[in-house]
Structure 1
Amino acid sequence: MYDVFGSIRGLLKIDSVSIDNNIFRLHYKGTMFILVAFSLLITQKQYFGDPIDCIVEGVDSGIMDTYCWIHSTFTIPALTGGVIGEEIPHPGIANPSLHGPDDQYEVKHHKYYQWVTLFLYLQAIMFYVPRYLWKLWEGGKMKMLAMQLNAPILDEDVKKERMAELIDYFNIYLHNHNIYAFRFLLCEVLNFVNVIGQIYFTDRFLGYEFTTYGTRVFAVSEQEFGTRRDPMDEVFPKVAKCSFHKYGPSGTVERLDGLCVLPVNILNEKIFIILWFWFIVVAVISGVGLLYRLATFIPAFREILLRTRSRLASPDHVQTISRNCQFGDWFVLHQLIKNMDPFICKEFFADLAKEFEEKAHARIGSTSADAIPLTHS
């Protein structure tokens, strides 16, 4: 399996500088890796054989395989729950005329398996789009700010120089980071909207069977095999029918019914049950993440988070910094200290708090001087 997944292991590489959070990475790393891995796995014939094998008298097996793969197969969903070997030969496979009028049963055609690989790959791309937008908007800001400050051992002169540069940066750009923060919030919203959208599009792709697929599978898992109506057999039949038409000896059109074994559906049914649970988990976690992001608009909550992240810093310093920062400033600071050594962070917070206090005293002194009335001799 290493030859299959070795080429995509780079998707799980840990970045040297963090510009997002774990929930964000759940989309563009975790989910994207799963989707690309499943997409590649379906194409590996050496592990699962041919995706379709059909049998019919009078037609070459290779031609029949190609024809049925292109033109789809079909089953009768209403006959999926019949007793195998007595009422029906396979789930969903039967002659409708033996069970009632010809128009009593709905025939369901299956074409999705032609597109599963491409569909999963396109889903992976959609999960990467918010990450691409954020990297474009972020523009390497965090890498520039955190440069060299994530090392536990750093030359003292270099450390002082880098912290002085950071202090100057926050002096110049304080209260100018709101657009930066709101762009990240937009990408978080896009992540949530995307995973909900992928649930809907997967449901359409599978003929509106996906949203209830997981619950139906678990509902029948305890029933006796051979007599239960398995939703896996309805959505991903392992045996299906295929009709081939050709001219007979007299020039009339003959219809030849064949049976097709679909080994690829053994894998497809497992892939989509995993994706059913994964998408739900990711959607719930992303929704909770958005509630958390909304809570960060509360100044007191931001101060608590900043104190938790910079655990070695003085609470007084954290309080001073928090009260001087708007939402965008707090967001940049919160991202920065994730990429900073805790001991360096402690010193940085002390220097930044001192700078804010000196600026506050300077403003108070300036205001007091302006309030003193001028006297004339």
Structure 2
Amino acid sequence: MLDVIRSLKSLLKTSRIQIDNDVFRLHYAVTVTVLLAFTIVVSMKQFVGDPIDCIKSEEVPQSIINTYCWIHATFSLPSAYDKIVGKEIPYPGVDAGYLPSDLSSQELKYHKYYQWVCFMLFFQAALFYFPKWLWKLWEGGKIQALMMDLDIGLFAETEKKQKKKLLVDYLTCSSGQHDWYALKYFFCEALTFVNVVGQMFLMNLFFDGEFLTYGLDVIQFSEMEQSERLDPMIRVFPRVAKCRFFKFGASGNLESHDALCLLPLNIVNEKIYIFLWFWFIVLAILTGLVLIYRVVIIACQPVRVYLLNFRFRIVCPEDLKTVVKNGSIGNWFIIFMLGLNIDPVIFKEVIEELAKRVKTDRKDVA
């Protein structure tokens, strides 16, 4: 088990080549690792025992009851949530004072998601990794190819000059041809926001409309008086629920058997999803701010100059202004990414040479 969890560390390793930002990495590295770790935990019997354990009827083997209730789902009675535990009912949502024929399906709250939590967590992890996979496919190793190992900086002077010249020649000749490349990355960033917000609604659908307000309900519960509060985690993830099993009796009549089932896995599930609720909220806010930041960058050329100057202080501001002013958003994006990946001194020299080329071209045109 621990060996499997340790293997997830590979997702958290930072690559030598940066082709995205920190918030993007929170989606495909941190969140995916957390979701896969949760998937492993809820799948391991050794932590919580059997996923379901029902009080058996003398006429029905316990293994049959357990398997049946696991397959067909357990249920709670919403009308029993407000009753006094220990006096009127044994547990919130569990009540014996009813006849099965008197209850409609609307009066029973079925917990059909219990069996599918581990699969849903894995599916969520795949969705969080998808934007990364798509960007890696579209990026195609362009930044790595343009770097030409210039991140090391330990070259013979002749080789260094040759590689810098090749890079400057490429940036000069391909000016205005990287807009689509940049827009693909911006699209993947937007996709991460759509994914995290969409997953909030997906989880709400999965938990029968309980997830969107789950975190707020837990906060409100902690502030209520002990005597009048019902733990929302128990309402969404009950630890004890009921199950009804039908069979034919000896004379051929239909018999109904009520079972009281323990759901120990919900002790883990409730903690997992309260963490995910707050994590998704934080992630959605951070990603939303990144999208606003991208819109400002696309719309305002001076902001692009400021960001390059702020991030790469070693470079002459005038050179940065010259390069950005005479280039498109795609050029700016390529230059910014190269600055993150190659040696700072070499990057400074590349920008100086690129600015000279731009000024020379402008004089020739004039």
CA distance in 2, matches of 1:96, 1:61: 23
Q: How does 1:18-167 map to 2 (within 5 A)?
A: 18-58=18-58, 59-97=60-98, 106-167=107-168
1:319 to partner: Cα distance: 1.5
Aligned pair count reads 362
Aligned to 1:304: 306
Are 2:172 and 2:354, in contact at CA under 8 Å, matched by a contact in 1?
no
Are 2:181 and 2:330, in contact at CA under 8 Å, matched by a contact in 1?
yes
Q: Deviations over 1:53-78 (max 9, x none)?
A: 11122222222111110010000123
Comparing 355-364 and 125-134, the one that deviates more:
355-364
Are 1:81 and 1:230, in contact at CA under 8 Å, matched by a contact in 2?
no
Aligned to 2:206: 205
Letter in 2 for 1:316: E
Q: Deviations over 1:118-151 (max 9, x none)?
A: 1111111111111111111111101111131112
**Structure 2 residues not aligned, in runs of 5+:** none
Aligned to 1:259: 260
1:227 to partner: Cα distance: 4.9
CA distance in 2, matches of 1:184, 1:105: 47
Q: Which of residues 331, 334, 341 is equivalent to 2:333?
A: 331
| Percent identity (aligned) | 45
CA distance in 2, matches of 1:33, 1:209: 25
CA distance in 2, matches of 1:145, 1:227: 65
- Please give the secondary structure, in 2, of the residue aligned with 1:148: coil
Are 2:134 and 2:188, in contact at CA under 8 Å, matched by a contact in 1?
yes
Letter in 2 for 1:344: I
CA distance in 1, matches of 2:161, 2:290: 36
Are 1:82 and 1:227, in contact at CA under 8 Å, matched by a contact in 2?
no
1:347 aligns with 2:363: no
Comparing 45-54 and 75-84, the one that deviates more:
75-84
Q: How does 1:223-302 map to 2 (within 5 A)?
A: 223=224, 225=226, 227-297=228-298, 298-302=300-304
Aligned to 1:373: none
- Please give the secondary structure, in 1, of the residue aligned with 2:325: helix
1:224 to partner: Cα distance: 5.0
CA distance in 1, matches of 2:149, 2:82: 65
Aligned to 1:17: 17
- Please give the secondary structure, in 2, of the residue aligned with 1:229: coil
Letter in 2 for 1:34: V
Aligned to 2:184: 183
CA distance in 2, matches of 1:135, 1:78: 52
- Please give the secondary structure, in 2, of the residue aligned with 1:296: helix
- Please give the secondary structure, in 1, of the residue aligned with 2:351: helix
Task: State the superposition RMSD in angstroms.
Answer: 1.8
CA distance in 1, matches of 2:55, 2:3: 33
**Structure 1 residues not aligned, in runs of 5+:** 365-377
Structure 1 pair 103–201 and aligned structure 2 pair: CA distance change class (3 A): closer
1:10 to partner: Cα distance: 1.4
1:47 to partner: Cα distance: 1.5
Structure 1 pair 147–103 and aligned structure 2 pair: CA distance change class (3 A): same
Aligned to 2:323: 321
CA distance in 1, matches of 2:261, 2:160: 69
Structure 1 pair 226–244 and aligned structure 2 pair: CA distance change class (3 A): farther
CA distance in 2, matches of 1:152, 1:263: 57
CA distance in 2, matches of 1:324, 1:96: 79
Comparing 287-296 and 337-346, the one that deviates more:
337-346
CA distance in 2, matches of 1:16, 1:140: 13
Q: Deviations over 1:330-357 (max 9, x none)?
A: 0111111011121221111111112212
CA distance in 2, matches of 1:127, 1:344: 35
Q: Deviations over 1:260-314 (max 9, x none)?
A: 0000000110111111111111111111111000011211000001111221011
1:174 to partner: Cα distance: 0.7
Structure 1 pair 104–23 and aligned structure 2 pair: CA distance change class (3 A): closer
Q: Deviations over 1:37-58 (max 9, x none)?
A: 1111100111221111111222
Letter in 1 for 2:53: D
Q: Whose Rg is larger? A: 1
- Please give the secondary structure, in 1, of the residue aligned with 2:107: coil
Scaled by the length of structure 2, the TM-score of the pair is: 0.94
CA distance in 1, matches of 2:262, 2:134: 44
CA distance in 1, matches of 2:63, 2:56: 11
Letter in 1 for 2:11: L
- Please give the secondary structure, in 1, of the residue aligned with 2:256: strand
Scaled by the length of structure 1, the TM-score of the pair is: 0.92
Q: Deviations over 1:71-121 (max 9, x none)?
A: 1000012322322111210111012449xx867982111110111111111
CA distance in 2, matches of 1:290, 1:348: 29
